[in-house]
A = this chain, B = another copy of it.
Amino acid sequence: MTDYYSKHFTKTLKEDPKDEEAINAKLLIRAGFIDKQMAGVFTLLPMGLKVVNKINNIIREELNTVGCQELFMPAFQSKELWEKTDRWNTDNQVMYQMKDNSGKEVGLGYTHEEVITEIATKYIRSYKDLPQAVYQIQTKFRDEPRAKSGILRGKEFLMKDLYSFHIDIKNRDKFYEKIKEAYKKIFKRIGIDTVVTSASGGTFSKYSHEFQTISESGEDTIFVCSKCQSANNSEIINENGKNCKECNQELVEKKAIEVGNIFKLGTRFSKVLGLYVADATGNKKPVEMASYGIGPTRVMGTIVEVSHDGKGIIWTKSVSPYDIHIIQILNSKSEILNNNKTSNSKFKTEEIVNQLEKADLDVLVDDREGISTGEKLADADLIGIPYQIIIGDKTAEDEVEIKDRKTGKVEIVKIAEIKKIINN
């Protein structure tokens, strides 16, 4: 698939956005990936949506592989349902709640335990219906007083939330470990390092686990053992102290961004909402549950926080909006006007694009006229596609210079070999 930047809806912006301190927001806005509608509320512009879709599809592939099924729940939450679990009043500081014109109160979901548990009561009746694991990628709303970290913490944001249902704790724990491994694969494929951090399980269970990406811009503080990489968040540290038991080593304090979390819910929701099954001996028992979150828009912001330089974003290959950024150098006025085969760089671009499309690569071509080469190169560095190819008059017939955005290294390669370089 090939897009031409001259026709693309967005262009890079010259100035940093006002009222945005976070690097992720500054770079994503200037490069044309997101637009800020209000504090904590962003539009995913075409290139931003491409990145998020790639993140989402990696998540989908890994979850589907371990038997999870995708569905899509509503944002609106019933007051009556949330009163049953006692969260309507306690959570009204984070949950948007409103009255419709008929006077009925509804909320906007920031999580979906209530809704999915109620749905599950209609389909899960016996131990034979278990296990089940369903997820959605859906817009969540949170009344967030300090929406100041760009798309890392929004009032409206995308969330992948997965819920699993099991006959007993043993089976639940086995599946929980399976998802922990799936999460590791997901973040590895996306291209960000994470440490699995033990955290409090709140009122539900003893522990939960967070997937934390170490970054100075993170709002979380974690404590990592430099020897075994085991990590705890501050709740656990307050409880158990700053020592790594396994290695007898002092834990090192780090700032980190929470990109995912997994959580044993126990029977907190199944008991109250009536999700009971008959086991093999006919005894009714409440279903054991767990929930698992990843914020795809927050992941996009995290990549930018940990992978950028002074010139702009450096996308990881698996989620970059395009595989290659072709920069077309139009040297002379006559060449710009002469839109045909005699215009060398235009003709060569089309030749190369044809071959890259055959290799199933996604290409962005900066074909803008009246923009200097320097400006085009700066824009390409800001946008951050991992490979750049510059095509000018002097480009040979069957070879191109390909630049690695991250290392700056330039290689001369045969066009037929571009795919190999990119897939390396």
The digit string for A79-112, where 1 denotes a CB below 8 A from any CB of B, is 0000000000000010011101110001000000
Which of these binds chain B: A70-78, A176-184, A232-240, A326-334?
A: A70-78
Contact with B along A55-79 (1 / 0, CB 8 A): 0000000000001011111111010
Q: How far is the CA of A119 from the CA of B48 in the complex (A)?
A: 14
Partner of A9, one of B49, B74, B123, B139: B123
**Quick one: given A9-B132, A11-B123, are A143 and B100 in contact (CB under 8 Å)?**
yes
A358 partner residues in chain B, CB cutoff 8 A: none
Contact of B93 with A72 in the complex, beta carbons under 8 Å:
no
A35-43, A268-276, A284-292, A305-313: which one contacts chain B?
A35-43
CA distance A41 to B115 in the complex (A): 12
A202 interface residue per 8 A CB criterion: no
CA distance A71 to B53 in the complex (A): 11
Q: Mark A122-150, 1 if CB is under 8 A from B, else 0.
A: 11000000001010000101010100000
Nearest Cβ distance between residue A404 and chain B, in whole angstroms?
28
Task: Name the B residues within 8 Å of A408 (CB-CB).
Answer: none
Which of B43, B102, B139, B143 is within 8 Å of A101, CB to CB? B143
**Which residues of chain A in 11-52 are interfacial with respect to chain B, using CB atoms and an 8 Å cutoff?**
11, 13, 32, 35, 37-38, 41-46, 48-49, 52
Instruction: Give chain B nearest CB distance to A269 CB in angstroms.
Output: 16
User: What is the count of identical protomers in the complex?
Assistant: 2
Given contacts A38-B76, A76-B156, A78-B38, contact A13 B122 (CB under 8 A): yes
Instruction: Tell me if A155 is interfacial: C-beta within 8 Å of chain B.
Output: yes
A8 at interface (Cβ–Cβ under 8 A)? Answer: yes
Min CB gap A113→B, angstroms: 14
A170 touches B (CB below 8 Å)? no
The answer to the question of A394 belonging to the interface, with a C-beta cut-off of 8 Å to chain B, is: no
**A 188-229 binary contact with B (CB < 8 Å = 1; else 0):** 000000000000000000000000000000000000000000
Instruction: Please give, as numbers and ranges, the residues of chain B lying within 8 Å of A37 by CB-CB distance.
Output: 73-74, 76, 78, 115
Q: Chain B contacts of A35 at CB under 8 A?
A: 119, 122
Count of chain A residues near B, Cβ 8 A? 49
Report if A44-B72 is in contact (Cβ < 8 Å); known contacts: A78-B37, A122-B35: yes
- The answer, yes or no, to whether A7 is at the interface (CB within 8 Å) is yes
What separation, in Å, do the CA atoms of A257 and B41 have in the docked complex? 34
A10 interface hit (Cβ, 8 Å):
yes
Which residues of B lie under 8 Å from residue A132 when comparing CB positions?
A: 9
Chain B residue contacts of A74, Cβ below 8 A: 37, 41-43, 139, 156
- With contacts A75-B156, A78-B37, A122-B13 taken as known, whether A145 is within 8 angstroms of B115 at the C-beta atoms is no
CA distance A45 to B115 in the complex (A): 12
Contact B97 A67 (CB under 8 A): no
Complex interface: chain B residues within 8 A of A93 (CB)? 101
Q: Which residues of B contact A139 (CB under 8 A)?
A: 74-75, 139
Given contacts A76-B155, A123-B11, contact A97 B96 (CB under 8 A): no
Which of A46, A69, A115, A143 has the most chain B CB within a 10 Å cutoff?
A69
Between-chain CB contacts (< 8 Å), 8 pairs: A37-B76, A43-B72, A44-B71, A45-B71, A49-B71, A52-B72, A74-B156, A96-B98
A residues at B contact (CB < 8 Å):
7-11, 13, 32, 35, 37-38, 41-46, 48-49, 52, 67, 69-76, 78, 93, 96-98, 100-102, 106, 115, 119, 122-123, 132, 134, 139, 141, 143, 145, 155-156
Minimum-distance CB pairs A-B, first 9 = A98-B98, A44-B72, A46-B69, A43-B73, A41-B74, A41-B76, A100-B143, A101-B143, A9-B69
- Given contacts A96-B98, A100-B143, 19 further A-B pairs with CB under 8 A are A7-B67, A9-B132, A35-B119, A37-B74, A37-B76, A38-B78, A44-B71, A45-B71, A46-B69, A48-B72, A52-B72, A75-B75, A75-B156, A76-B141, A93-B101, A96-B100, A97-B98, A101-B143, A139-B139
